[in-house]
Amino acid sequence: MDKAVDLARMFAKTMSEKCVPQNGDYIKDGLIYCGKCHTPTECRTVFHGEEIIFPTWCECARRANEERERESAEAQRAVRAPELRHLSMMSGKLSECTFEGADKDGENSRSMTICERYAEKFPKMLEDNRGLLLFGGVGTGKTFAAACIANALLERNYSAVMVSLVTLIDGADEIIRRINDIDLLILDDLGAERSTDYGFERIYAVCDARYRSGKPVIYTSNLPLETFKHSEDIRCARIYDRVLERCYPVEFRGTSIRKREAWV
C-alpha cells in the first residue's frame, strides 16, 4: 500500500485518540456523531484513492471555539483600548469628536462623507498608504473631521496619533521613534508653524520618516491647494511634494463654525 496513505492513517488515528468521546455520542453510517448537536465529529476524506476518516469539529464544538476566540479578542481589545487612547495624544474635546455626533448637513457634508468613508475603508487605505489633505479656511471643521477619523479607528483598535505641527517641532523625536508603529498619523495645521529653518527641518524629518514607513498621514491645513502645488520655497516644496503624492485633497468651506458658535 501507498506509504503516504499509511502515514495519513496513522496521523488520523493519533488525532482521534486525542478526542475523548463524550457521553451520548453515537455511530451512524460509520462515523461518530455528537450526542448534543447531532452533527458528525469525523469526516471521510479520499487520499491517494483511499478513504481515510479524520476527526473534525461537530457544530457545537466549532461554535464553542468561535466563542472562545471572540472572548479572547475582546479581552485583548479591552486591555489595549486605554493604552491606544493614551498614545493617541488626543484629550479633552478632541477625544469626543465622532461622526455620530457631527453635523453632516452643512456645506461640508460631502467632505465629511469622504472622511467617514476613509475611516470605514481604513484597512485598504493603510495597505495602499493613502492619506488625506483636509484644507480650507479657519474654523471650518478640519481638525474636527480628523479627530472623528482618529476616534473611529481607536474604537476599532487601530493606533491613531494626532499632533499639532506647531507643537510637534519640540516632540518630533518621540514621534519619529514610533513612526513605524502608528497606523494613522494625523499632523494638524501644516503651514501654521513658525517658518524657521529649524522648524522646517523638524517637520521635514517627521514627514519624510513617515513617507518612508509607507503608512498613511492625514494633514490639515489652512493653506490653499495651489500653495501645495506651487511653492517657491524649497523647504516647503519638499514637504508638500510628499503630501500631494500620498494624500487626497478634501476641501472644507464656509464661515468659521467657531464664530457661528460664539453668536448663538
Ligand X SMILES: Nc1ncnc2c1ncn2[C@@H]1O[C@H](COP(=O)(O)OP(=O)(O)OP(=O)(O)O)[C@@H](O)[C@H]1O
- Binding residues vs ligand X (CB under 6 A): 102-103, 112, 138-144, 189, 220, 222, 252, 257-258
Could you tell which of Zn ion, Mg ion, ligand X, none binds residue 257, using a CB distance below 5 to 8 A set by kind?
Answer: ligand X
Member of 41, 88, 108, 143 binding Mg ion (CB under 5 A): 143
Residue closer to Zn ion (CB basis): 34 or 97: 34
Rounded to whole angstroms, how far apart are CA atoms 153 and 97?
Answer: 12
If binding is defined by CB under 5 A, does position 169 make contact with Zn ion? no
DSSP state letters, 71-132: HHHHHHHHHHHHHHHHHTT--GGGGG--TTTS--SSTTHHHHHHHHHHHHTHHHHHHHT-EE
Residue with smallest beta-carbon separation from ligand X: 141
Which residue number is nearest to Zn ion in terms of Cβ? 34
Location of C-alpha cell 456645506: 107
Q: Which listed range, 43-51, 56-64, 103-111, 168-176, lies at the site for Zn ion (CB under 5 A)?
A: 56-64
Between CA 108 and CA 114, with CA 110 as vertex, the angle to 5 degrees is: 115
Question: Which CB, 58 or 132, lies closer to ligand X?
Answer: 132
Packed helices 109-120 and 142-155: angle between N→C axes, nearest 10 degrees: 20
Which residue in 5, 16, 19, 36 binds Zn ion (CB under 5 A)?
36
Q: Which does 151 bind (CB under 5 to 8 A by kind): Zn ion, ligand X, Mg ion, none?
A: none
Instruction: Please answer whether residues 112 and 145 qualify as being in contact, where contact means their C-beta atoms are separated by less than 8 angstroms.
Output: yes
Closest CA to 160 of 169, 148, 172: 148
Q: How far is the CB of 241 from ligand X (least distance, A)?
A: 22
Residues that bind Mg ion in the complex, under the rule CB under 5 A: 143
